[in-house]
């Protein structure tokens, strides 16, 4: 079987990769397991040195890496450069803080000495998506490696070129040759790798459907699993919000990466007293976005990663309009090659519509009018998802109360768009997954919380 890489901006085939044979996969897994056993014995200072070296490799080749993202999944070039820089940041963050996060903790008991240590689990299988082909991997792999684990990367087939570059980055930085390896495989072999005795745990960033499937296999094998799945983040605009600030942040949050982000603002829930002003400003800002070649620095919106994803998104829009949603802008598939879809805004979105209950993974925003704060929170929390969300208000105490106690999600922001940050835990609840990445919480996901009791 061959995996063809199609440039989503042109529809042209740019590469092809043969699927690894089972014997090859087995060999890679065993090599990675051997590398991890040695790596687990290294000092944190050595791990930190190599992490800083990885950051240097990333910055030295920033243009090349961004260009590969443009070619394979249609990312805007400037956004690709920013993604590489963020990967360098997470390397440096864990180089600085990793040892402290995993330092043994002394516990007072009747023993002579009792403590908790955090040794690595072993090999982590990372099943990763295409939308942030570098950052999603680094977000998982860097804390796992810093903790002493090894990583097997099963990337999305349409970004296998990125996957091989990622493997090479760690080699260039001086990490053991087989410590992070890319597996060019599809679903059946992924299942076999989950059940490999060398694999200790699984980390998945994917759709809800894919996450359920991988978690089910991990459960059968009694292996820990961290899931970061879909999202339908609420963007709540209250009557005392700075509407212009909310509009500018909302457009960036919704249409960044051509709308292909699980933590993008997807449902704009606006209190009635400011709804008309918000809608007018929002549509005007969306109309100003330029769609086109993702390598063009003047372009804001590139293609979706694949034509089938574009067609699925259009079907969701059409079903919503047929059910009574009002199309304010966009909503038509453009002619020509590529997987382009115009920036689209739907209003009068109600329960039962696709745009209400399904994740729209692309440049489509839904506007929902509500009477007050209580109704806004009821709509915000009335979803199967729970990844992130934001609330917009000039009353910071009110905003913090809503973010801390009102929004049911893994993260909530006040007067700021939802984003991932190495310093803060990242993950969701309900169908958005479980477990956390990043910060001290993320590095402890793939360690053994190990109790040690010593008596004289």
Same domain, 186 and 274: no
Mean pLDDT of all residues in the chain? 98
Confirm whether 161 is domain-assigned: yes
Across 36-56, average pLDDT: 98
Confirm whether 59 is domain-assigned: yes
Is 443 within 8 Å of 101 (Cβ atoms)? yes
Instruction: Output the CA–CA distances (angstroms, integers) from residue 181 to 32, 125, 155, in the order listed.
Output: 7, 10, 11
Locate 163 and state its tokens.
């996957």
What would the pLDDT profile of 124-168 be if each residue is shown by its tens digit? 999 999 999 999 999 999 999 999 999 999 999 999 999 999 999
Domain of 263, CATH number, reads: 3.40.309.10
Confirm whether 333 is domain-assigned: yes
Domain of 206, CATH number, reads: 3.40.605.10
Confirm whether 426 is domain-assigned: no
Sequence-distant (6+) residues with CB within 8 A of 417 are 249, 250, 252, 253, 265, 390
What would the pLDDT profile of 328-381 be if each residue is shown by its tens digit? 999 999 999 999 999 999 999 999 999 999 999 999 999 999 999 999 999 999
Domains contained in the chain, number: 2
Same domain, 79 and 109: yes
Same domain, 8 and 137: yes
Confirm whether 78 is domain-assigned: yes
What pairs with residue 125 in β-bridges?
152, 202
Q: Tell me which residue has tokens 């200072």.
A: 45
Same domain, 154 and 103: yes
Encode 186-219: b = buried (16+ Cβ within 10 Å), e = exposed.
eeebbbebbebebbbbbbbbbebebbebbbebbe
Say what the pLDDT of residue 362 is.
Answer: 98
Confirm whether 43 is domain-assigned: yes
- Residue 99 known to be catalytic: no
Same domain, 11 and 158: yes
Q: Tell me which residue has tokens 């603002």.
A: 265
- The whole-angstrom separation of Cα 182 and Cα 152 is 6
Confirm whether 185 is domain-assigned: yes
Catalytic residue among 87, 140, 262, 431: 262
Percent of the chain with pLDDT strictly greater than 70? 100
Same domain, 349 and 374: yes
What would the pLDDT profile of 200-249 be if each residue is shown by its tens digit? 999 999 999 999 999 999 999 999 999 999 999 999 999 999 999 999 99
Residue 338: CB atoms within 10 Å: 22
Say what the pLDDT of residue 352 is.
Answer: 95
Biggest CA–CA distance in the chain, Å, is 79
Same domain, 76 and 132: yes
Catalytic residue among 228, 279, 359, 445: 228
Same domain, 172 and 276: no
Statement: residue 316 has pLDDT above 90: yes
Same domain, 67 and 165: yes
Across 315-326, average pLDDT: 98
Backbone dihedral region for residue 244 (phi beyond 0: left; psi -120 to 50: alpha; all else: beta): alpha
CA nearest to 382, candidates 396, 393, 368, 399:
368
Same domain, 203 and 247: no
Say what the pLDDT of residue 1 is.
Answer: 85
Is 198 within 8 Å of 32 (Cβ atoms)? yes
- Residue 225 known to be catalytic: no
| Alpha carbon of residue 7 to chain centroid | 22
Statement: residue 15 has pLDDT above 90: yes
Ordered alpha helix ranges (H), 103-179: 135-146, 160-173
Confirm whether 202 is domain-assigned: yes
Is 91 within 8 Å of 54 (Cβ atoms)? yes
Domain range for 412: 233-421
Please, is 308 exposed, middle or buried when counting C-beta atoms within 10 Å of its C-beta (0-12, 13-18, 19+)?
A: exposed
pLDDT band at 298 (very low <50, low <70, confident <90, very high): very high
Same domain, 122 and 171: yes
- The whole-angstrom separation of Cα 408 and Cα 415 is 17
Across 109-127, average pLDDT: 98
Across 288-302, average pLDDT: 98
Same domain, 78 and 31: yes
CA nearest to 123, candidates 60, 61, 197, 198:
198
> Whole-structure pTM over 0.95, yes or no?
yes
CA nearest to 199, candidates 257, 144, 134:
144
What would the pLDDT profile of 398-449 be if each residue is shown by its tens digit? 999 999 999 999 999 999 999 999 999 999 999 999 999 999 999 999 999 9
Statement: residue 250 has pLDDT above 90: yes
- The whole-angstrom separation of Cα 337 and Cα 343 is 17
- The whole-angstrom separation of Cα 252 and Cα 231 is 17
pLDDT band at 451 (very low <50, low <70, confident <90, very high): very high
């Amino acid at each position: 079987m061959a995996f063809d890489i199609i440039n989503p901006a042109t529809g042209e085939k740019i590469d092809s990769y043969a699927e690894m044979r089972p014997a090859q996969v087995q060999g890679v897994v065993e090599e990675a397991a051997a590398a991890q056993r040695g790596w687990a014995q290294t000092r944190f200072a050595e791990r930190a040195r190599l992490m800083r070296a990885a950051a240097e490799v990333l910055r030295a080749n920033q243009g090349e890496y961004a260009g590969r993202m443009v070619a394979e999944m249609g990312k805007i070039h400037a956004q690709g450069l920013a993604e590489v820089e963020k990967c360098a940041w997470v390397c440096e963050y864990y180089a600085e803080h990793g040892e402290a996060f995993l330092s043994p903790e002394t516990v007072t008991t009747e023993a002579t000495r009792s403590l908790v240590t955090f040794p690595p689990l072993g090999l982590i299988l990372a099943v990763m998506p295409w939308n942030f082909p570098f950052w999603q991997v680094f977000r998982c792999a860097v804390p796992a490696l810093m903790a002493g684990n090894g990583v097997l990367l099963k990337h999305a087939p349409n970004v296998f070129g990125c996957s091989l570059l990622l493997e090479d980055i760690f080699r260039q930085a001086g990490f053991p040759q087989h410590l992070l390896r890319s597996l060019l495989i599809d679903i059946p072999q992924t299942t076999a790798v989950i059940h490999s005795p060398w694999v200790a745990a699984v980390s998945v960033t994917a759709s809800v459907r894919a996450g359920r499937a991988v978690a089910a296999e991990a459960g059968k094998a009694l292996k820990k699993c961290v899931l970061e799945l879909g999202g339908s983040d609420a963007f709540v605009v209250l009557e005392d919000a700075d509407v212009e600030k909310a509009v500018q942040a909302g457009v960036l949050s919704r249409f960044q990466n051509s709308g292909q982000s699980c933590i993008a603002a997807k449902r704009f829930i606006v209190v009635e007293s400011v709804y008309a002003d918000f809608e007018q400003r929002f549509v005007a800002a969306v109309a100003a976005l330029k769609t086109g070649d993702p390598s063009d620095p003047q372009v804001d919106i590139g293609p979706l990663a694949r034509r089938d994803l574009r067609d699925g998104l259009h079907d969701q829009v059409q079903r919503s309009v047929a059910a009574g949603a009002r199309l304010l802008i966009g909503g038509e598939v453009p002619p020509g090659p590529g997987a382009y879809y115009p920036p689209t805004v739907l209003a009068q979105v109600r329960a039962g519509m696709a745009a209400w209950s399904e994740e729209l993974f692309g440049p489509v925003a839904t506007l929902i009018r509500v009477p007050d704060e209580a109704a806004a929170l009821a709509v915000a929390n009335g979803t199967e998802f729970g990844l992130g969300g934001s609330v917009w208000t000039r009353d910071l105490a009110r905003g913090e109360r809503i973010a801390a106690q009102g929004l049911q999600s893994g993260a909530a922001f006040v007067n700021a768009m939802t984003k991932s940050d190495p310093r803060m835990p990242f993950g969701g609840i309900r169908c958005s997954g479980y477990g956390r990445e990043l910060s001290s919480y993320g590095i402890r996901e793939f360690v053994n919380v190990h109790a040690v009791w010593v008596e004289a």
